[in-house]
A and B are shown apart, each in its own frame.
Chain A
Amino acid sequence: MFPDASQIVFVLTALLIVVSAFQCVTVRNLVHAALWLISTFAGMAVLFVLLNAGFLALVQVVVYIGAISILVIFAIMLTRRVMQDASAQTNSNWYVAAGIAGVMFIATLYLLQLPDALTLGASSLVPGFSSAPLPQPAEFIDAAAFNTATLSNLGLALSSPDHYLLPLLLVGALLAVAMVGSINIARDDKERE
């Protein structure tokens, strides 16, 4: 069987994500690590487009690439002088960490290849979810109409009290509290009195 276009795009994106993430945790210079992190985020946005979640791809670009990476780069630059290139960037137990991460990855892959892995034996509990091959949304409806329907569904779900209005408000409150708190924490002591 020959791989189709979406599979080729997926494999290339997955390679980009894994290589960038690996560089991000291993490279010595932290500014370079932040740039690799941005590259990982960009790969994630491509993945969201592949998954027909265009809105989430946009949010990924705006929030992660736009906001969080800027925060990270600012933090790196504000704390720059301490450990530039002199000392080691990894602690003495890094091989234990590598072992834990490797065992976790292999165990997850093992669980994934079990015959019932994707349903956990609960296919009857979750409506619309079975171990049989699932219908591909992109195949029985054209992508533009699907995306519009998805986006309006998401907006309705986020603004209706029966669905996610309360979580949305709670997240907004949490974000506001976190911002006020972080300004308070990071403020210089001399300005306080």
Chain B
Amino acid sequence: MSIPLSWYLALSAALFSIGVFGVLSRRNAVGVLMGVELMLNAVNINLVSFWHYGAFGASTGLAFALIVIAIAAAEAAVGLALIISVYRRRKTVVVEDINLMKF
């Protein structure tokens, strides 16, 4: 008797929804990026749990999760660099005020 796959998927759905809420509701751009990190982590739970319950011996899920982690690191670095650059020029990190490219 052990943990059913659906528990992991439900937890992943909850984490993803919380991340979506964070991305949509935060005013601070760093907070938005933290929401994106939560969503990427939810995806990783899905990948690894499907790997664990899938075919024995294959390492596809692990390889995908590693690639997702690497891309999350790249995304965090570029996003935070953009935020610092915007802050240096415009003295704000509020997403609503960063509207230079908006009609």
A residues near B (Cβ < 8 Å) are 1, 4, 6-7, 10, 14, 17-18, 21-22, 24-25, 30, 33-34, 37, 40-41, 44, 47-48, 50-53, 55-56, 59-60, 63-64, 67-68, 71-72, 74-76, 78-79, 82-83, 87-91, 93-94, 96-98, 100-102, 104-105, 108-109, 112-113, 117-118, 126-129, 134-139, 149-150, 153-154, 157-158, 163-164, 167-168, 171-172, 174-175, 178-179, 181-183, 185-186, 188-189
Contacts and interface: CB of A to CB of B under 8 A. Distances in A.
B18 A101 contact: yes
A135 B85 contact: no
Interface residues of B, number: 76
Contacts of B83: 75, 79
Contacts of B52: 51-53, 137
A64 B70 CA distance: 10
Contact of B76 (A17, A40, A72, A163): A72
Contacts, number: 255
A79 B79 CA distance: 13
Contact of B85 (A1, A136, A186): A186
5 contacts: A91-B25, A105-B14, A134-B54, A167-B63, A186-B80
A150 B21 CA distance: 35
